[in-house]
Amino acid sequence: MVEYISVKEFLERQGSGIPLLDIRSPGEYEQGHIPGAISFPLFNDEERKVVGTEYKHSGPEKAFLTGLDYAGKKMSHFVRQASSLHSNELLLHCWRGGKRSESMAWLLSQAGHHCYVLTGGYKAYRKFIRSELDGATNLLVLGGMTGSNKTGMLKEMQNNGVQVIDLEALAHHKGSAFGHINEPEQPTSEQFENDLFYQWDKLDHSLPVWLEDESRTIGKVVLPDTFYENKRNAPLLVVEVPRESRIAHLVEDYAGIDDNYLQDALMRIKKKLGGDNLNTCLQALEEKNYHVVADISLSYYDKAYNYAITSYHERENVFHLPLESTDPVKATEKILTWYTEFSGISLSS
């Protein structure tokens, strides 16, 4: 049996544990896919290109026959692969919910599977999640200068039952010239949006969601425009951590990393540091004096953050919270106390 369903119902059924098969080519899947989807391509990238060219130059009938030549040889493989998932129900989609998903659904339904096909395909899914992310409000933003351990604080807040989305974790980047170090390869901006929605959709939207103060880009990932503006307009709590504590935190984070990565990161900001500061950093790095490297680097990052924060100064929703150190447990206690006083609502579990 084949049944066509909406994006909302499709995602609900995926949440119930039904396997989701992405029928598009491997290249399309890599560019962006629904989190949890299994790549189950009807055509490989080259086959898809050939079929598309046939459609454009010779029409749909010729393209259909060429596609059938490719897919016909793999039909038994598709059935066996689907059977290995041990589910009588399957979710399927292609790009627009057209011939590829229709053909695969027919085949697998003949093998006894109940196939749910996404109406409008992945294109409809993308439109749906962009709309949902555009409506993401009730946000709170945690800001502070580099080395403040904002990520650690957000994790501790999450441990206390607070709703948090870690944008840097989703982007596989810490947001600075050093941010790519010891991180997996970054996703595409498209995949980042899919993963962001996946996190957002699991939360209670009647309660606030905390984010870290990020620029529009995190490494090569670009935040969705409206979501970014919603974040910019949300209340911003800036934690103020003493410089020495921030230096110590940075040294703890980066001292065990291959110095070649650190040198490469310093070269990325050499114009911002200036020649003398760069040379001092490189010499200190050679001597394993990470404290000096962190100290000089902070001079650049502190200046950049102070400049960025000036755009908030005329707004009434910017708040400052002095902290004694980067300790996430103590910081979380103060942050949650601040929020209770600010809103009259307790966020802790």
Q: Active-site residues: which are they?
A: 94
If residue 5 lies in a helix (H) or strand (E), which one and from where to where? Answer: strand 2-5
Contact 183, 173 (CB under 8 A): yes
Using CB atoms within 10 Å of the CB of residue 310, give its burial: 0 to 12 exposed, 13 to 18 middle, 19+ buried.
Answer: exposed
Helices of type H across the chain: 7-15, 26-31, 45-58, 60-72, 75-83, 99-110, 121-134, 150-159, 167-171, 189-201, 225-233, 243-254, 259-268, 270-273, 275-286, 290-309, 328-343
User: What's the rounded Cα separation, in Å, for the pair 132 and 203?
Assistant: 13
Per-residue exposure over 10-20, b if at least 16 CB sit within 10 Å of its own CB, e if not? bbebbeeebbb
Whole-number Cα distances in Å, 158 to 149, 204, 219:
14, 14, 24
Q: How far is CA 295 from CA 114, 175, 189, 229, 278, in A?
A: 61, 18, 32, 32, 12
DSSP character string of 100-159: HHHHHHHHHHHTT-EEEEETTHHHHHHHHHHHHHHT--SEEEEEE-TTS-HHHHHHHHHH
> 296 is written with which tokens?
């000089």
Q: From CA 125, how far away is CA 97, in angstroms rounded?
A: 11
Q: How far apart are the first and last CA of the chain?
A: 45
Q: How far apart are CA 39 and CA 93, in angstroms?
A: 10
Bridge partners (DSSP) listed for residue 319: 237
